[in-house]
Amino acid sequence: MELRSALLRAALARPAVLTAVLPGATRARLAVERQLRARRWPRALSPAAADLLVVVGSPGEDEPAWLEGTWQALAEPRAMVRVEEAADAGAALDAGHAALLRGGRRAGTAAGGPRPHQVSPATDHGHPDHSHADPSAAHSHDTPMLVSGLPLADRADDRDGLRLDRLHVPFGPALPDWPAGLVVRLALQGDVVQEVTGVELVPAAPAPRPAFWDTPWREAAAGAPVTRGEAARRRCAAHLDSLGRLLAVADWPDAATRARRLRDAALAGAPAAELAYTTRRLARRVGRSRTLRWLTSGIGFLPRELALAAGVGGPALAADGDVWRRTVRWLAEAARAADACEDPRPLPPDDPYGPRGDLTGEQPPSRALLDVLPALLHGAELAAARLTLASLDPDPDELVPVAAGEVTRG
């Protein structure tokens, strides 16, 4: 018994963690990521590889089916914890680790039994796990037949006019380096996206404050005193966060970690000179990567005309091109924003441009980014589709309603 306990402690000294992030929980997500990096706990690429499931944010229902299915996919011993506020991240991870060492437990178990087939499929480097397909993935004339809750392939013409099998697969919401709570439903032929059949967000509880990355501009518009330096610091951190996600999807973990460390330094108030120097170093290193340029050039092409017609703004509009050009644009804007992080002048209340575009339009900038997604993913291979989504990096927080009477500054 003592030997078994010792082996369990050794195996779980650094548990593999899968984070399921809900819309409206960016502040808590950043805190969890900082804690995981400080502890050097690895991030799991799928539920099957995870020891600890960390649910970040508050679901819009008691126990959503996708969360139940994700939990069931973890192997024993397993544990699940919830982090709704940034301040709770460390204590929640401690509690989850302790539960694992005791043999595992579940936090916040819902009444009733599991729903084994109503889950979002995890992926390992972009390849779908068909054993966790959602039977409600598509509701059209192309809806596949189900056997024991699993979809059978139907038939459709591929891009060369051949009649091949097509499988309907939902991606999200519990995927690494994936927009919070996003579900993209794809019709696949092999690893090629034949059609995007749906783009949606899982329900989340109303947020207590506006979208984290847009906060300085929202507060300035409401009459609060905000400096240009505060807005530049938030813009710099937002672009570094987007770069970290893109570089992780491109399988460049070292550069992704550097981007996230710089993001955290920007949010922690690092001096502008220091932040600008290190951001430029990252920009030079990433911008000179021939491998990354080769990997991201020619995919996810979004011309300026299409972007304008769809209401897309910000870096995606200014880049006027493919994934590589959007990456270069982020690098340039992050470096420029880092230079201005100590500008004491007040931010004009009529400055509408947050990190992703105009915040005063009829719809938030991220809505337009999601709207152009189906056209950009059509005909793309899965790896290219993931890079395309990461290079747009829509912020689901912008689409979460703010709870009335609960708005707090920050």
Q: What is the Cα Rg of the chain in Å?
A: 21
Which range (156-165, 199-208, 265-274, 284-293) has the least confidence? 156-165
Q: What is the per-residue DSSP string for 262-289?
A: HHHHHHTT--HHHHHHHHHHHHHHHHT-
Q: Report how far Cα 395 is from the mean position of its chain's Cα atoms.
A: 8
Domains, the chain, ordered by start: 2-106 (no CATH), 125-201 (no CATH), 212-399 (1.10.645.10)
- SS3 helix, strand, coil % of the chain, rounded to 5? 45, 15, 40
Torsion of CA 41, 46, 51, 54, to 10 degrees: 70
Beta bridge partners of 163: 157
300 and 379 in contact (C-beta within 8 Å)? no
Residues in the chain: 410
pLDDT of 190 over the 50 cut: yes
Mean pLDDT, rounded, of the chain:
85
Q: Give tens-digit pLDDT for 13-35.
A: 899 999 999 999 999 999 999 99
Task: Look at 162 and 387; give whichever has higher pLDDT.
Answer: 387
pLDDT digit string, tens, across residues 289-301 = 999 999 999 999 9
The whole-number average pLDDT for the span 114-131 is 35
Q: How confident is the model at residue 9 (pLDDT cuts 50, 70, 90)?
A: confident
